[in-house]
Structure 1
Amino acid sequence: MDIRFEQAEARFEGRTVVHPLTLSLRERRIGVIGLNGSGKTTFARMINGLVLPAEGHVTVNGLDTVKDGDKVRGQTGFIFQNPQNQIILPILKEDIALGLKSQKLSKPDTAAAVEAVLARFGIAHLGERRAHELSGGELQLAALASVLVTRPDILIMDEPTNQLDLRNRDLVERTIHRLDENVVVISHDLGLIADFDRVLCFHEGRLAYDGAPAEVIARYRELAA
């Protein structure tokens, strides 16, 4: 993984949401924290081109998010705070297969890929279920399957344990820690990211702290006090 921000800035309606930022991310597991409105979600969306820089550049594995947007999105999967919003088709298997449409696989190859990703997350029994029938934890696993079936290099997750009960929260945490993909996780759940390789803390649109989890989390607690 090689994510680079070069004086990259994000603005909405004339307001600066992420101030000019220069940094390089190569660690496999990166946590992103900050108070509400701190710019952390906008920062994450800049990585896969959902938000384009008003100034500067963002590159992912050498690809520019503006010039090479489709290729960048092919390498970065994004799971939104409410995973139900990104499950489009009613039946889970059909939704996962939809993500493979651009790859123009044969029907047998598509079916095999869908079965493989369901098995990977232990949710083969949910393939014929509808999204509204799934628990919070099952929804997160379904969203993971629908994104990772396309084999992105980087997975970005926005508050993956938000509003989950303890059982589902633990299920999602265990799943994240077993992932082979590079992971960027935006979270208020400090325990989830406590053993990540690196944590970034945003405050008022700026990168306030950057480093080892224990140190950055301690500084964040001071900000939040």
Structure 2
Amino acid sequence: MPPPNPPVGLTLENAGFTAAGRVILSDLTLSLTEQRIGIIGRNGSGKTSLLRLLSGLVAPATGTVRVDGLDPARDRKAILSRLGILFQNPDHQIIFPTVAEELSFGLHQQGMAKPAAKAAMRAMLAQHGRSHWEDRPVTALSQGQRHFLCLLSLLAMKPATILLDEPFAGLDLPTQSRLTRTFDALPQRLILITHDPAALARYDRVIWLEQGRIRADGPPTTILPDFTTEMTRLGEVDADTDLSD
């Protein structure tokens, strides 16, 4: 049972994660309370693993992870209204054949009766000018449209925090622009993984991961110039030579 007055936000205390005997994340202690938080780092630095840890998709090998005082790996149903994750590839997230079924699934998980879930699903589509999608097969949607459907499925459940794993990857510029406007207007806390420092210029906080540890943590005006300088330096040499097999 959650504490009567749980802390608001996401916290990690000496959290670590190991996969196939390999340490992916180690000694992470963070309190994530800001409205806009960015996570940057090279490929293989542990960014996506951190989001999976925060969302409860994997449990920490060491330490603790809490979302508003709850253990996301154990309190799965309670977490639904507190936290959602938008994966980089929508096909890793969509599980139902039609838009209506996909949008309604999370609402059913939250205990909403079928008539109420149907009404909420239709209201969500109408709010975003997508009422004509209701009976459409998911396979008839473009990648950008499927990505947007995944976002609508999350928003329907009204989580307090949304985790975004490279949400613009593989999308054309107009779709990226539309998604950016949507993200900017959301009242939820956003935690965004990106390789684009410019996307985080107006964020409250940026965390730089390197080899599963925090290299730097602070405002974008402090972190992003150092990150850009280091990535430029690595680009001028054989940038893969320092990565382990």
Q: Same fold (TM over 0.5)?
A: yes
Distance 1:194 1:72, change over 3 A: same
Between 1:144-153 and 1:155-164, the stretch displaced more is 144-153
User: 8 Å contact 1:137–1:172 — kept in the other structure?
Assistant: no
TM-score (norm 2): 0.86
Deviations 1:143-188 (A, max 9, x none): 1111221121111111100011111111111111111111111111
1:154 — aligned with what? 161
What is the deviation of 1:18?
0.7
Instruction: Map residues 107-186 of structure 1 onto 2, 5 A cutoff.
Output: 107-186=114-193
1:17 — aligned with what? 24
Distance 1:29 1:186 in 2: 11
Distance 1:133 1:214 in 2: 42
Distance 1:146 1:21 in 2: 30
Amino acid of the structure 1 residue aligned with 2:113: S
Aligned-pair Cα RMSD in Å:
1.6
Instruction: Map residues 190-209 of structure 1 onto 2, 5 A cutoff.
Output: 190-209=197-216
2:240 — aligned with what? none
2:9 — aligned with what? 2
Gaps of 5+ in 1: none
What is the deviation of 1:24?
0.5
1:212 — aligned with what? 219
2:108 to 78, 98, 101: 101
Distance 1:26 1:93 in 2: 33
Gaps of 5+ in 2: 1-7, 233-245
What is the deviation of 1:131?
2.2
TM-score (norm 1): 0.93
Equivalent position SS for 2:37 = strand
1:40 to 35, 43, 47: 47
Identity %, equivalent residues: 38
Larger Rg: 2
